[in-house]
Amino acid sequence: MGKVFGKLKKSNNIKLTYFDFTGRAEVSRIILTYAGVKFTDERITDLAAIKEKLPFGQLPVLYYKGVQISQSMAIARFLANEFKLAGRNNLERAQADEIVDALVDLFNKGFEVMFSQGSAEETQKLRKEYHRTVDTELEKLERRLETRGGQFFAGNALTWADIQFFCAVDFLRMMESTAVEKYPLLADLNKRIGEIPNIKQWMETRPQGGH
Amino acid sequence: MPALKLTYFDLRARAEPARLMLVQAGVDFEDKRLPAPWDDMAPWTELKPKTPFGVLPVLCVDGEEICQSMTIMRYCAHTYGLGGKNALENAQMDEIVDSIQDMVEKQYKAYLFEKDEAKKAELQKDFNEVALPKFLQQLEARLSKRGGDYFVGSKLSYADIMAYNFCSELPDKAAVTKTPNLSALVDKVANLPNIKKWVESRPKTVC
């Protein structure tokens, strides 16, 4: 682990537990990092050992000043709200949520391919379908971004929807897709998020688990 | 009051959560229903390209369109007094709702989407004998830890209404008898006057 994580190890009573992988926890890690909040970035290799202690037997889990929260999007939304990345009123929050939910649907399809238990032929078929879906969804997201002013997904200001999108593009790269480059507004948003200093530093120094 | 229009198929499925929030809160809304795709595909085929993400439900609020069933549900809950009083309470509600949705997807897969008969039987067996009992126990533990009456903040919230909806849509509704606090909560929500009236009078659909 780099020097950055030596500093971040002091928990501030905030601990995020997940696998050594980007997956469903990366958006929360980036929200915390962007907000400059110290947290323990716990990475588990043996889920079976702790499964019974988890409220719903799954990761990620957030420990926040004595309270335990599970469900990746509940965690991310909570952190976004805590650190002013959620939207400024109910409608903006819903606009951000809408994008996040659409991206989760896309993530889930990608996970299905990545963790496919089927034959090589079945997996290849799933993969092809996935890449087709990626194109359809990115096109819709490009249009959505355009109707919202072209710079950010909600309230014309940075929200966790933009960060979730950045994570989605990172995941697409893992799935060997550069489809986002075909969509100018999306590609530009992704680039701008990546240039935010705290996020840039995170991407350069994060543990490379699962890549 | 904003003009609210909720568009979905003539089904409960992914729009019922939002409908229940609005109904419980006593909010007027247009409950627009397209024929189920297997009854008549034409109206949906025509509307689909005009929707932001090519999926339903869509909520139209004062001319603004919002998609994604859980986003819509959450928006309705927060706007009409069924949300939490701070981010932590909301996270506690979201945790319950998201866990329920994971199980709903499992149920959909086992009972609707899986086409292979052998696989379908296997998925249903796993759902009813393994996944569901375990999940209900986890919900019961969470509920008991919070005092046993409501999932969060000692008052009715979208977490309680979602739990009620999930339990009332189970293939075997008797499954909740093993979880007393949850069972009592489901009954309590079922007997809320607005919910009770809605459930008795809403269109009867296959799902």
One-letter-per-residue 3-state SS of chain A: CCHHHHHHCCCCCEEEEEECCCCCCHHHHHHHHHCCCCCEEEEECCHHHHHHHCCCCCCCEEEECCEEEECHHHHHHHHHHHCCCCCCCHHHHHHHHHHHHHHHHHHHHHHHHHCCCCCHHHHHHHHHHHHHHHHHHHHHHHHHHHHCCCCCCECCECCHHHHHHHHHHHHHHHCCCCHHHHCHHHHHHHHHHHHCHHHHHHHHHCCCCCC
Assessment of whether the complete model's pTM goes beyond 0.90: no
Distance from C-alpha of A18 to C-alpha of A6, rounded to nearest angstrom: 18
What is the pLDDT, as a whole number, of residue B1? 52
What is the pLDDT, as a whole number, of residue B2? 57
Distance from C-alpha of B82 to C-alpha of B77, rounded to nearest angstrom: 5
**What's the rounded mean pLDDT across residues B54-67?**
95
Torsion of CA A92, A93, A96, A98, to 10 degrees: -110
**What's the rounded mean pLDDT across residues B47-52?**
96
* Closest chain A residue to the Cα of B53, Cα to Cα: A140
Minimal Cα–Cα distance from B73 to chain A, Å?
A: 10
ipTM of predicted complex? 0.79
DSSP state of B30: E
Beta strands B30-34 and B4-9: pairing type? parallel
Distance from C-alpha of A123 to C-alpha of A114, rounded to nearest angstrom: 9
Between A6-20, A170-184, B107-121, B158-172, the lowest mean confidence (pLDDT) is in A6-20
* Closest chain A residue to the Cα of B54, Cα to Cα: A140
Q: How many residues does chain A have?
A: 211
Residues in chain B within 8 Å Cβ distance of A71: 94-95, 98-99
Q: What number of C-beta contacts closer than 8 Å exist between A and B?
A: 82
